Structure 1
Amino acid sequence: MNITLRQLRAFIAVADTASFVRAAERMHVSASGLSMLVRELENQLELKVFSRSTRQVRLTDAGSEFLPLARKSLSDLEAAIAATRSLATIQRGRVTVAASVVPAATLLPWAVSDFVRAYPGIHCAVKDGFEEEIRDQVRRGEVDLGVGTLLEDDTGLDESVLYEDHLMALMPDEHPLVARGTVSWKELSQHPLIALTAASPSRHLADQAFATAGVTAVPKYEASFSSTIISMVAAGLGVAALPVNVRQVSPRVKVHARLLVRPTVKRKLGIYSRSDTELSPAAKAFRQHLESFVTQMHGIPAEVVSNAIDTS
């Protein structure tokens, strides 16, 4: 059996219009050409699908049974063709992703590696930098996508959550808080504090948590990058409140992590793009790939995926 798309379209058009003439107009073919397509379909099926007369065309019983099957087959085939054509359009292209330092170092290298194996003709550029600048880079169209901490009421961006983690208390070796199973924000505020700069989204979450705990925490030191803060903590300059995944950046330093409580703060790390602009096929493919990649938990630090608390 060799049924074609044109035969299915001709059959459905006649069934919808109950007229060979109107169906031919709809398909932009001659009435004789349409009739030939229907006859070819009937020959393939070895049955009549229409009962014809000079005044009307109606489906036979066999035609009525075949119609829903024909609609589904045509829909499935057209969807497959559209997907194949879409794939062809992203064989080449470029996508630029801005990310804060930690996901740029712990997530994106493996996600990009997996992506370029699937789409070797697409060039991926990763711009790692200050997290507080990423949103404006996306809004200005300097990059296609941003990866970083999500904040509520962030207008103008189409956001989706990749994963959630906790804010943790980081302290140096032999610090008195190391003996604690968890650390409250009030307890943390009683020690010299090392914080991200005020514009950082993670700093914003920490400031909110201190306020909820009813304490005012004034940092003794500030730094722009989490890796710098971790080293400052290891050097004994103070304690810090950072997302759990930052420990992946400097795994060898003598820094201990404890869950911060009262309140417990979850940080959402996500991917976002401009809500008023259609992504290029390459950028759209990368976004979908990264979301799928994270869902499958490839390359994500185990302590982030499980929200497990490291007590080392």
Structure 2
Amino acid sequence: MHLDPLSLRLFIAVIEEGTIAQAAQRCHIAASAVSKRLSELEDSLQTSLLERTNKGVAPTAAGIELLQLARSALNELEQVNVRMRDFASGLRDHVRVFANISAITQFLPREISTFLASYPQVQVHLEEKISAHVTQAVAENAADIGIIARGLYGQALEKFPYHSDELIVITPSQHPLSQRQQVTFAELLDYDFVGLHTGSAINMQLQKAASALERQIKLRMQVTSFDALCLMVEAGLGIGILPKAVARPYRATLGIHGLELKEPWAARELLICVRSYQALPRAARLLVDHLRQL
């Protein structure tokens, strides 16, 4: 049996759903057919991929390795369709960029605009993801280029300097800290926070800093965008931490106050990450070069 996309998709579905029955329902195929495909896959590879129990299935070590390879292979196949569609519609190149919210709100709109002015035949597909998901997508070839905050994400990627930014604190205009110009992180931990979504680089840094002080953050709520964070802070629901450049227009129009955060980690580095610069398609290399020059 040769490896084929259907068998790989069924294998991925079984791992993600945890049972053959649920995977069969998800893929609209009989459970017996799914089971037969999996057995043939194991026979073809001459290794056990799944451990079957009364509660369902779990991947073996070989199964975990195949899961990553299968996702990458299917992503590659999908890109064949995407890029051929681009040629059919007159587009000659397509670049997939995943970036964190800080890069998207501060830098990428202008920089992608100037890039496309020079290379109008290129289509740039941009998605906002947290940095950990960006690195995973780049590693699995779901994205050509990633923009992340410097950190440890467990992926072996090539990285290049991009931009730096500075985190500041924002408070409601009538908050006890609203008369201050600067503050340490320890002083903030007595107050309620409005945080970004779980897994974001900023939230992870705040949790790390609080743990170092043997304290906990009073996280009153979490939001998924900087504009929502600023509006919640203005409404008096807590204080927030976000990049200084992002906060600037909101400070001019909303009832919020900005303070300098006196911590070394408030100065951040953003990075460009790729699997291999030399292996990138020509358009993706041109975009990386463009972003590194700015």
* TM-score (ref. length: structure 1): 0.59
- Cα displacement string for residues 238-297 of structure 1 (whole angstroms, at most 9, x for unaligned residues): 00122323315745322222121255532211211124971111001101101112xxxx
Question: SS of 2:218's equivalent?
Answer: coil
- Cα displacement string for residues 102-140 of structure 1 (whole angstroms, at most 9, x for unaligned residues): 422332121111112222221222122444422222122
- For 2:156 and 2:291, locate their aligned partners in 1 and report how far apart those are by CA, in whole Å: 21
- C-alpha change, 1:110 and 1:130, in structure 2 (3 Å) is same
1:222 match: 222
2:98 match: 98
Superposition pairs of residues 127-166 of structure 1, within 5 angstroms = 127-152=127-152, 154-166=154-166
2:195–2:221 contact (8 Å) kept in structure 1? yes
Superposition pairs of residues 194-213 of structure 1, within 5 angstroms = 194-213=194-213
Larger CA Rg, structure 1 vs 2: 1
- C-alpha change, 1:133 and 1:226, in structure 2 (3 Å) is farther
- C-alpha change, 1:129 and 1:279, in structure 2 (3 Å) is same
1:160–1:271 contact (8 Å) kept in structure 2? yes
- C-alpha change, 1:181 and 1:258, in structure 2 (3 Å) is same
Which range is displaced more, 241-250 or 162-171? Answer: 241-250
User: In the alignment, residue 239 of structure 1 is paired with which amino acid?
Assistant: I
- For 1:223 and 1:131, locate their aligned partners in 2 and report how far apart those are by CA, in whole Å: 16
1:109 match: 109
- For 2:217 and 2:128, locate their aligned partners in 1 and report how far apart those are by CA, in whole Å: 29
- For 2:98 and 2:120, locate their aligned partners in 1 and report how far apart those are by CA, in whole Å: 20
- For 1:140 and 1:166, locate their aligned partners in 2 and report how far apart those are by CA, in whole Å: 30
- For 1:131 and 1:228, locate their aligned partners in 2 and report how far apart those are by CA, in whole Å: 20
- For 1:162 and 1:174, locate their aligned partners in 2 and report how far apart those are by CA, in whole Å: 37
- For 2:214 and 2:291, locate their aligned partners in 1 and report how far apart those are by CA, in whole Å: 39
**Count of equivalent residues:** 203
- For 1:249 and 1:272, locate their aligned partners in 2 and report how far apart those are by CA, in whole Å: 29
Deviation at 1:226, TM superposition (A): 2.6
Give yes or no for the alignment of 1:187 onto 2:183.
Answer: no
Which range is displaced more, 150-159 or 279-288? Answer: 150-159
Question: SS of 1:236's equivalent?
Answer: coil
User: In the alignment, residue 125 of structure 2 is paired with which amino acid?
Assistant: A
2:195–2:229 contact (8 Å) kept in structure 1? yes
Percent identity over the alignment? 24
1:268 match: 269
Superposition pairs of residues 23-172 of structure 1, within 5 angstroms = 92-152=92-152, 154-172=154-172
Question: SS of 1:104's equivalent?
Answer: helix
Deviation at 1:101, TM superposition (A): 2.8
- Cα displacement string for residues 47-97 of structure 1 (whole angstroms, at most 9, x for unaligned residues): xxxxxxxxxxxxxxxxxxxxxxxxxxxxxxxxxxxxxxxxxxxx9411111
User: In the alignment, residue 106 of structure 1 is paired with which amino acid?
Assistant: Q
Give yes or no for the alignment of 1:231 onto 2:241.
Answer: no
Deviation at 1:190, TM superposition (A): 0.7
1:33 match: none
- For 2:289 and 2:200, locate their aligned partners in 1 and report how far apart those are by CA, in whole Å: 26
- C-alpha change, 1:124 and 1:268, in structure 2 (3 Å) is same
1:177 match: 177
- C-alpha change, 1:163 and 1:106, in structure 2 (3 Å) is closer
